[in-house]
Amino acid sequence: MYKARKLDRGAMDRASEKWNSVAKPLHSLGVFEDIVINIAGIQGTENISIDKRCVLVMCSDNGVVCEGVTQTGQEVTAIVTENFAKGDTSVCKMAHFANAEVFAVDVGVSRDVEGVINKKISYGTKNMYRESAMTYSEAQKAIDTGIECVKELKEKGYKIIVTGEMGIGNTTTSAAVVSVLAGIEPEEITGRGAGLSSDGLKRKIEVIKGAIELNKPDKNDAVDVLAKVGGYDIAALCGVFLGGIIYGVPIVIDGFISAAAALCAYKICKESRNFMIASHVSGENGAANILKILDKKAPINAGMCLGEGTGGAMLLPLLDSVLCVYNEMSTFSDINVEQYKELK
């Protein structure tokens, strides 16, 4: 369906050899070394660069909010989306520190928002508890929008993209999508989102189960699942992850919603996981399950569940510090010390 690239195994081998030549104990930077090697395979060179980076935030509303599955109202989506344009959100502050730009994309906010990239498909999805969230063609259009965004950013020279999202109710849609695609009961992966009470959580699970029962999404067709119980933000982010393998760009998984989108991309194109970088294990239920399915190890485990791309933005300066070792540290030959050997 999509023209997929392959990792450059030669570049990965050379990056691994470079790590082994650095004057430190073998593999002592753990998963960070694996991430650098992965990026080498994506970029096709051991001389990797992530100096031009961005956070791509997909914003949309979800009709299911009217079922009482959130603490705040749908109007908050538009307010926060406007704040992305003003640079006044958590991820904007963190991205500024990490020398990354933030691009907010309106793919389905319930009203028009000034100052953000307008790729609106419709003014929010329908209520999945009563009917399909969107049509199949709308879901596919959202996916294509995400792919298009990666193409545009690649052409502008961006070398790594962090995924972010904004949409009140999107932990509900994400839990529904993951429940179907991963075959996990909603009770196991549904969390409190932005602070639900115990009664609110019970209602949220009830709505998710009802939406799945009503719409009967096909677990073998991720687009159908997105259309019936997903959201435009998740579908667009799915496209971003597919864009990673199409255009050869490392795409950073943020939290639960972002990971749900990554799972959708994986179900569409298995090899897309090779172009994904995990940033953190979200405190939201279900995130760890998805990373396990994707066979991804996240270096940050801090119980975060803020969203917006904040976990991914936090990863960037950590990678910068690791790359200082990779690029600037003396080698064993430089200091006339015998190189460590792999021992069994």
Quickly list DSSP for 61-107. Answer: --GGGGGS-SSS-THHHHHHHHHHHHT-SHHHHHHHHTTEEEEEEEE
> What mean pLDDT do residues 60-69 have?
95
- Which pLDDT value is given to residue 335? 86
What is the tens place of the pLDDT at every residue in 89-118? 999 999 999 999 999 999 999 999 999 999
- Which pLDDT value is given to residue 1? 59
Q: Using the predicted structure, report yes or no on whether residue 239 has a pLDDT greater than 80.
A: yes
Q: Using the predicted structure, report yes or no on whether residue 145 has a pLDDT greater than 90.
A: yes
- Which pLDDT value is given to residue 197? 84
Quickly list DSSP for 155-219. Answer: HTT--EEEEEEE-TTHHHHHHHHHHHHHT--HHHH---TTT--HHHHHHHHHHHHHHHHHH---T
Mean pLDDT taken over the chain: 95
> What mean pLDDT do residues 264-274 have?
97
More confident residue, 301 or 336: 301
Confidence of residue 334 (pLDDT cuts 50, 70, 90): confident
- Which pLDDT value is given to residue 333? 86
> What mean pLDDT do residues 269-292 have?
95
Place of tokens 């989102």: 193
The pLDDT > 90 percentage for the chain reads 89
Q: Using the predicted structure, report yes or no on whether residue 200 has a pLDDT greater than 90.
A: no
Q: Using the predicted structure, report yes or no on whether residue 148 has a pLDDT greater than 90.
A: yes
Annotated active-site positions, please? 308
For the chain, which domains are there? Answer: 53-318 (3.40.50.10210)
Q: Using the predicted structure, report yes or no on whether residue 232 has a pLDDT greater than 80.
A: yes
- Which pLDDT value is given to residue 331? 86
From 30, 27, 10, 13, select the one nearest 341 (Cα to Cα).
27
- Which pLDDT value is given to residue 245? 98
What is the tens place of the pLDDT at every residue in 1-48? 567 899 999 999 999 999 999 999 999 999 999 999 999 999 999 999
What's the whole-model pTM score?
0.96
The rounded distance, in Å, linking the Cα atoms of 178 and 186 is: 9
